[in-house]
Amino acid sequence: MIGRHQSTVTDYVQRGIFPNAYLADDIGNHQTFKVPKSDVLRYLNDPLHSLDSRIRQAAQAWLAVRTNDGQDSIGYLDLEDFEFEGTRLPLKSRQRGIWKPRQLKAALSISTTFRRPGEDRPYEDEVGPDGMLRYKWQGDDAEASDNRALRTAMHEGLPLIWFFGVAPGLFQPVFPVFLIDEEVESQQFIVDIDPQRVLLDSDAGPESPMEIAVIKRYGTRIARTRLHQRLFRSTVLHAYGTSCAICNLKHKVLLDAAHIIPDTEEDGVPTVVNGMAMCKIHHAAFDSKILGVRPDLIVEIRTDILAEVDGPMLRYGLQERHRQPLMSVPSKRAERPSRSLLEVAYARFREA
Ligand SMILES: [Zn+2]
C-alpha cells in the first residue's frame, strides 16, 4: 500500500480494466465472474500499470491539455490543481527543485528557477560537451532524499516533467524528459529532453553506430533549439502581458515572440531583450521589413506601403501605426527591447 488512495481490486474492476468481471453487491444480486487473484497481481506488477506509472501518465496528460501540448506556460497555482483519483497531488513543490510526492517511488518533476534578464546567459551553462542538458543535485549530499529520488527515476527509466521558470511563479513545462546518466564528480544528472531518442534505440534504426551518434547529436540539438524557442516565447509573451507590441491584440494563438535580431545570427540570442510580442501579421511585417521599430520604440511603416490604397488591414493594421509608439511594452525596464539590438534592426529596415 502506498499512500491513502492506493487502488483496490474493486477500483480496477469498476474502472473496467477487467471487462468480464462484475462485483456482487452485499446481497449478491449481481452475476459475478471472479477474476483470479493471480491475474490481478500480474496486472498490478506490470510496471506499466503500477500506481507510480499511472500517476505519471495522468500528470503528463493533464499538463498537455492545459499547456497546449507543452507550448504554453502554466502558473504555479494551476500546478497545485492536479488530482489523481480524487486526491490533490501538486506537480511541483513550492520550495524545492526536485519534487517527489509521497505516493511515488521516484521524483515526478524537476524545476529551474526563473532568472531575470542579464543575471546569466539562460540555460547555456547547463549544456554539457555532448550537447545534453544537465540538472544539478540538490546540495552536495549524494544521499540526500531528493537526489536519491532522482537516481531512482534514472535507474527505472521513469519519465519526468521539467519546469523552467519564465517569470516569477510561471513555468514552461517540458515533458517527458529522462535522466540518462549521473556525473557524480560534477554533482549532476544528464537529462534527455528528446523523447524521440527512444526510436533510435529500436531495431529499426540506422545500422552504423556512427550514424546513430550523428542523428542523436542532431536530434539533441533540435530538441534544445525547440526548448529555447518555447522558453523564449513564454518569457516574451508574459513580459508583454500577452499582447501585440504594435496593435495590442491579446489572443495568444495569434501571437508570436518576434526576434529583433534573427536567431540565425550570433546576436540573435533567445532572451527577452531580443524579443517583442507581436501578432502574426505584425511579426511577418517586421521580419520582411514592411514595419520597423525605432530605438525609441516608435513604429515606422515603409514608405511604399504608406502610399498604397487597400482594405482595412493595410489602413488600420499598418498605415495608421506609422510614427505611433508601441502599444504594449514590458512594465519592467530590464525586460524591454535592447536599444543596441533595435539600432541594428532599425538600420536594416531603413535600408530595405
Ligand atoms: Zn499586431
Residue count of the chain: 352
What's the pLDDT at 319? 97
Q: How remote is the CA of residue 130 from the centroid of ligand 1, in Å?
A: 40
Q: How remote is the CA of residue 66 from the centroid of ligand 1, in Å?
A: 25
Pull the grid cell for residue 111: 524545476
**pTM above 0.85?**
no
Pull the grid cell for residue 78: 494551476
Q: Which residue pairs, CB below 8 angstroms and at least 24 apart, start in 264-268?
A: 267/341, 267/344
Q: How remote is the CA of residue 118 from the centroid of ligand 1, in Å?
A: 27
3-state secondary structure of 227: helix
Q: How remote is the CA of residue 237 from the centroid of ligand 1, in Å?
A: 13
Range 273-305 burial, b when 16+ CB lie within 10 A, else e: bbbbbbbebbbebbeeebbbbbbeeebbbbeee
Q: How remote is the CA of residue 331 from the centroid of ligand 1, in Å?
A: 18
What's the pLDDT at 37? 63
Q: How remote is the CA of residue 284 from the centroid of ligand 1, in Å?
A: 10
What's the pLDDT at 78? 92
What's the pLDDT at 271? 87
Q: How remote is the CA of residue 223 from the centroid of ligand 1, in Å?
A: 29
Residues 191 and 179: beta-carbon distance below 8 Å: yes
Q: How remote is the CA of residue 229 from the centroid of ligand 1, in Å?
A: 20
Q: How remote is the CA of residue 327 from the centroid of ligand 1, in Å?
A: 9
Q: How remote is the CA of residue 246 from the centroid of ligand 1, in Å?
A: 5
What's the pLDDT at 244? 98
Q: How remote is the CA of residue 73 from the centroid of ligand 1, in Å?
A: 21
| Residue range 219-267, pLDDT digits in tens | 777 778 888 888 899 999 999 999 999 999 999 999 999 999 998 888 7
| Residue range 90-139, pLDDT digits in tens | 999 988 899 999 989 999 999 998 877 666 544 445 778 888 889 999 99
> Which residue numbers in the chain have pLDDT < 50?
1-6, 24, 121-124, 198, 202, 204
Residues 152 and 47: beta-carbon distance below 8 Å: no
First to last CA, the chain: 69
DSSP assignment, residue 333? G
> What structural domains and CATH numbers belong to the chain?
9-45 (no CATH), 65-196 (2.30.280), 240-351 (no CATH)
What's the pLDDT at 4? 37
Pull the grid cell for residue 288: 520582411
Q: How remote is the CA of residue 176 from the centroid of ligand 1, in Å?
A: 34
Q: How remote is the CA of residue 238 from the centroid of ligand 1, in Å?
A: 16
DSSP assignment, residue 50? S
Q: How remote is the CA of residue 8 from the centroid of ligand 1, in Å?
A: 54
Q: How remote is the CA of residue 225 from the centroid of ligand 1, in Å?
A: 25
Q: Report the chain's mean pLDDT, rounded to a whole number.
A: 84
Q: How remote is the CA of residue 277 from the centroid of ligand 1, in Å?
A: 9
Q: How remote is the CA of residue 121 from the centroid of ligand 1, in Å?
A: 29
CA 219, 221, 222, 227 dihedral sign is positive
3-class DSSP string for 247-272: CCCCCHHHEEEEECCCCCCCCCCCCH
Q: How remote is the CA of residue 280 from the centroid of ligand 1, in Å?
A: 7
Q: How remote is the CA of residue 273 from the centroid of ligand 1, in Å?
A: 19
Report phi then psi at 191, rounded to 5: -110, 130
Give the integer Cα–Cα distance in Å for 76 and 70. 15
Give the integer Cα–Cα distance in Å for 109 and 162. 6
What's the pLDDT at 1? 32
Q: How remote is the CA of residue 321 from the centroid of ligand 1, in Å?
A: 10
Pull the grid cell for residue 317: 493594421
DSSP assignment, residue 36? P
Q: How remote is the CA of residue 255 from the centroid of ligand 1, in Å?
A: 8
